[in-house]
């Protein structure tokens, strides 16, 4: 089985990219002239681009035992052998969503590379990630910043919203980005979240090419248009939520604004982030 | 050598040098269906990987070998034998027994052509219900709340159905995270952890030597309540369409990759299709919080 990873730190555009991929698949599979069709996906029920890499039920199926009977370290040691096998009844495409760092805090490789064709890694400026985390988890900005700079940051099984998933080591924002960009096991396409907004056609075309999906700019434009933030937000309001948001009160698709952190964060808050992330910010956003 | 005898899923288990204390213990038995013992197992070596195999297990003919990193190996064969090997002397009995109960017993049942679900089953007034749902959906919490309301736990994790749709007494215990124990106000000091470093505890249900399998009345698929704004939100909806019923049940078969690898999938589907009309299937969203859950159960009979 060949597959790709769509990887990112949380709140960095992962779902957006997978919605684009889904639309592109619909367009490619469409019989007749795709320009005259109205494409619609219910993103709560048939996004179906692929499993999330931390899915407990998937891991349990592949390891043959119950992962909840294992410690976090024991689980970490197994995970780099999971991706290569698709769940048995899954009809999903092979674009696996990942929020894990490439290696965990103990330097154990988490990501399976066997059979993998590559990874799209989406990176978003940590100032904006801080604002988005704050909105999503209802944390104040200082707590979001603490999370972003925490070398042990983890999406854990203790949170109600993650019962279906095993703990995911993120590390701090910078180590997350570096872990993916510096690994040598997989071909990687790094895209900036900001470019998904500001250089839409160019950036989504790069993604489409990397995933061997389409070179046709009309197809890509229609997929971009269908997966616009405005449409996603409208869908979420109409359907009383997006299941990707699991159990939170606020909207998953908020404003998706670029540069909001620069405006909202105080100088001292920016300084704290820079203290931990400056080199990576320079490297990625120069 | 210490030999223990147990009864579970209508079968007699002879277990050498290991306690499976979560099963109904017998003093002795002339009839033995399954033997469980330690052996000097080797990894699978030259066995080539088949399509249903993964890095962690190999299935060949009627034998399943499971490699549990840093714990040991389990080899389950022909529906009548479980062999285990510890990785080191540091591996405790409860580590081994936990994975035997968690997976190896299920494989034995599959090898014996028994339909097994990843679920728990409860009984009251000679009628049983089964709760399905992915790991983490809250099946154990619901089971505990129902036990407190007079329901008897028949089996947890693996529920085996006879061809007539009745439920066999299996492993009558639930495993609860400390977080859930705290919410349910259960003092953890009175309970044993599933494994030394895992904050999950075993709550044993009653075991009955004279248990009569009882007919399944309804099946519930548990869904997480996503509605945080209204903690009291609940929903119970019958799934009537037979295809939807079938898919929902198929998706909750215990370790489906073992079923396929052992060549039992079509047999399972035939059984499932045969009994699908005999019970009702519901999607169930319970309200958050124990009090709300109890109030819901006061108002809605399962």
Q: Do A71 and B55 touch (CB under 8 A)?
A: no
DSSP assignment, residue B211? Answer: P
Phi, then psi, of B73 in degrees rounded to 5: -125, 140
As a dihedral over the C-alpha atoms of residue A98, residue A103, residue A104, residue A109, rounded to 10 degrees, the angle is 100
Q: Is A230 helix (H, G, I), strand (E, B) or coil?
A: helix
Domain count, chain A: 1
3-state helix, strand, coil in chain B (%, to 5): 25, 35, 40
* A164 Cβ contact list (under 8 Å, min separation 6): A55, A56, A57, B134, B135, B136, B137, B224
Mean pLDDT value of segment A87-113: 91
- Residue B230: pLDDT above 70? no
What is this model's ipTM?
Answer: 0.92
Which positions in chain B touch A63 (Cβ < 8 Å)?
Answer: 54, 56
Find tokens 């329901």 and name the residue.
B151
Of B66, B135, B194, the CB nearest to A60: B135
Query: Cβ B70–A77 below 8 Å, yes or no?
Result: yes
Q: What is the pLDDT of residue A234?
A: 66
A vs B, Cβ pairs < 8 A, gives: 88
pLDDT band at A247 (very low <50, low <70, confident <90, very high): very low
A203-226 mean pLDDT: 94
Rounded CA gap, B148 and B128, in Å? 16
Instruction: Select from A54, A55, A64 the residue whose CB has the most chain B CBs within 10 Å, as the one to mutate to test that interface.
Output: A64
A242 to chain B, closest Cα gap in Å: 10
Mean pLDDT of chain A: 88
Query: Could you identify the residue written with the tokens 């399998």?
Result: B213
- Sheet strands (E) in A63-202: 95-98, 116-123, 154-155, 168-169, 188-192
Burial of A47 (0-12, 13-18, 19+ CB in 10 A): buried
Please give the share of chain A, as a percent, with pLDDT higher than 90: 65
Residue-level pLDDT at B152: 95
Retrieve residue A152's tokens. Answer: 């042990």
More confident site: A238 or A15: A15
The CATH number linked to A101 is 3.40.50.300
Give pLDDT, residue A243: 54
Residues 6+ apart with CB under 8 A from B183: B141, B290
Please check whether residue A248 touches B, CB under 8 A: yes
Model confidence band, residue A236 (pLDDT cutoffs 50, 70, 90)? low
| Maximum average pLDDT range among A79-88, A89-98, A178-187, B158-167 | A178-187
Per DSSP, the residues of B227-291 read -SS-TT--EEEEE--HHHHHHHHHTTBSSHHHHHHTT-HHHHHHHHHHHGGGSEEEEEEPPSSHH
CB B161 within 8 A of CB B132: no
Nearest residue of chain B to residue A60 (CA atoms): B255
Q: Is A55 helix (H, G, I), strand (E, B) or coil?
A: strand
Instruction: Express each pLDDT in B286-295 by its tens digit.
Output: 887 778 888 8
Instruction: Say whether B68 and A65 touch across the interface (CB within 8 A).
Output: yes
Do A68 and B200 make contact, defined as CB atoms within 8 angstroms? yes
Residue A246: per-residue pLDDT: 44
Chain B residues near residue A81 by CB distance under 8 angstroms: 54-56
Contact at CB, A81 and B258, closer than 8 angstroms: no
With a cut of 80, say whether residue A44 has pLDDT above it. Answer: no
The residue behind tokens 């400056």 is A278
- The per-residue pLDDT for range B14-59, each reduced to its tens digit, is 999 999 999 999 999 999 999 999 999 887 767 778 889 999 999 9
Alpha-carbon distances of B65 from B97, B104, B260, rounded to whole Å: 16, 9, 15
Start-to-end CA span in chain B (Å): 46
Report whether pLDDT(A161) > 80: no
Taking a contact as any Cβ pair under 8 Å apart, which residues of chain A between 133 and 172 contact chain B?
Answer: 158, 163-165
Number of H helices, E strands in chain B: 8, 17
Residue A91 in contact with partner chain B when CB distance is under 8 A: no
Helix spans in A56-125 (H): 56-63, 72-79
pLDDT of residue B235: 81
- Taking only the tens place, the pLDDT of each residue in B1-14 is 899 999 999 999 99
Average pLDDT rounded to a whole number, residues A75-96? 90
Dump pLDDT digits (tens) for B248-268.
999 999 999 999 999 999 999
CA distance A103 to A32: 45
Mean pLDDT of chain B: 91
Q: Residue A243: its chain B contacts at CB < 8 A? A: 226
What distance in Å separates residue A64's CA from the closest CA in chain B?
A: 7
Tokens of A145: 């910043």
pLDDT in tens, B64-119: 999 999 999 999 999 999 999 999 999 999 999 999 999 999 999 999 999 999 99
In chain A, which residues have their Cβ closer than 8 Å to the Cβ of B135?
Answer: 56-57, 60, 66-68, 163-164
> Which chain B residue has the Cα nearest residue A70?
B198
pLDDT at residue B223 in the model: 80
- What residues does B220 pair with on adjacent strands? B131, B282
User: Please, which residues bridge with residue B25 across strands?
Assistant: B6
Q: Quick check: A240 pLDDT over 60?
A: no
A257 touching chain B per CB within 8 A: no
Residue B182's region, left for phi above 0, alpha for psi from -120 to 50, else beta, is alpha
pLDDT (0 to 100) of residue A30: 81
Cβ neighbours of residue A168 closer than 8 Å, sequence gap 6 or more: A54, A99, A100, A154, A155, A162
Domain of A139 in residue numbering reads as 3-285
B103: distance to nearest CA of chain A, Å? 6
């Amino acid at each position: 089985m060949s597959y790709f990873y769509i990887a990112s730190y949380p709140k960095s555009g992962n779902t957006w990219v997978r919605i684009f991929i889904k639309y592109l698949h619909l367009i490619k599979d469409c019989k007749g002239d795709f320009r005259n069709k109205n494409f619609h996906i219910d993103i709560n029920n048939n996004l179906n681009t692929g499993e999330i890499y931390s899915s407990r039920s998937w891991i349990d199926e592949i390891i043959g035992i119950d992962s909840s009977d294992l410690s976090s370290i024991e689980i970490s040691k197994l995970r780099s052998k999971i991706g290569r096998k698709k769940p048995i009844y899954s009809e999903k495409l092979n674009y696996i969503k990942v929020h894990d760092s490439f290696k965990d805090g103990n330097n154990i490789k988490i990501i399976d590379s066997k059979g993998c064709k590559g990874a799209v890694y989406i990176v978003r400026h940590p100032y904006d990630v801080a604002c988005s985390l704050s909105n999503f988890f209802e944390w104040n900005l200082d707590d979001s910043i603490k999370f972003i700079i925490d070398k042990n940051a983890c999406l854990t099984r203790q949170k109600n919203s993650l019962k279906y998933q095993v703990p995911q080591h993120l590390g701090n924002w910078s180590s997350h980005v570096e872990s993916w960009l510096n690994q040598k096991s997989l071909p990687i396409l790094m895209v900036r979240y900001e470019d998904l907004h500001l250089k839409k056609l160019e950036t989504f075309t790069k993604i489409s090419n990397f995933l061997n999906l389409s070179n046709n700019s009309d197809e890509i434009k229609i997929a971009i248009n269908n997966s616009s933030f405005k449409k996603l937000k409208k869908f979420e309001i109409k359907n009383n939520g997006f299941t990707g948001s699991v159990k939170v009160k606020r909207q998953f698709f908020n404003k998706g604004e670029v540069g909001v952190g620069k405006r909202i964060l105080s100088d001292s808050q920016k300084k704290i982030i820079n203290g931990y992330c400056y080199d990576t910010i320079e490297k990625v956003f120069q | 050598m210490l030999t223990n005898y147990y009864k579970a899923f209508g079968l007699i288990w002879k277990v050498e040098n290991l306690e499976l204390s979560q099963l109904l213990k017998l003093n002795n038995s002339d009839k033995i269906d399954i033997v469980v013992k330690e052996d000097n197992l080797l990894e699978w070596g030259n066995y080539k990987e088949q399509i249903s195999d993964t890095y962690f297990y190999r299935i060949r003919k009627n034998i399943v070998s499971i490699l549990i990193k840093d714990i040991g190996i389990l080899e389950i064969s022909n529906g009548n034998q479980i062999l285990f090997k510890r990785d080191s002397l540091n591996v405790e009995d409860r580590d081994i027994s936990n994975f035997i109960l968690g997976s190896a017993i299920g494989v034995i049942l599959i090898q014996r052509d028994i339909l097994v679900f990843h679920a728990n089953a409860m009984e009251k007034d000679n009628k049983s219900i089964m709760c399905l749902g992915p790991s983490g959906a809250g099946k154990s919490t619901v089971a505990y709340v129902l036990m407190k309301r007079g329901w008897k736990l028949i089996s947890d994790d693996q529920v085996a159905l006879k061809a007539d749709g009745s439920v066999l007494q299996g492993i009558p215990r639930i495993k609860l995270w400390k977080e859930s124990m705290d919410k349910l106000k259960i003092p953890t000091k009175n309970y044993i952890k599933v494994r030394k470093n895992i904050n999950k505890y075993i709550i044993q249900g009653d075991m009955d030597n004279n248990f009569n399998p009882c007919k399944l009345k309804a099946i519930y698929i548990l869904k997480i309540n996503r509605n945080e704004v209204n903690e009291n939100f609940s929903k119970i909806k019958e799934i009537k369409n037979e295809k939807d019923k079938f898919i929902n049940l198929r998706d909750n078969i215990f370790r489906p990759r073992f079923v396929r690898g052992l060549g039992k999938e079509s047999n399972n589907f035939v059984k499932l299709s045969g009994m699908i009309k005999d019970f009702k299937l519901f999607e169930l969203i319970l309200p958050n919080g124990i009090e709300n859950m109890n109030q819901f159960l006061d108002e809605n009979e399962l």
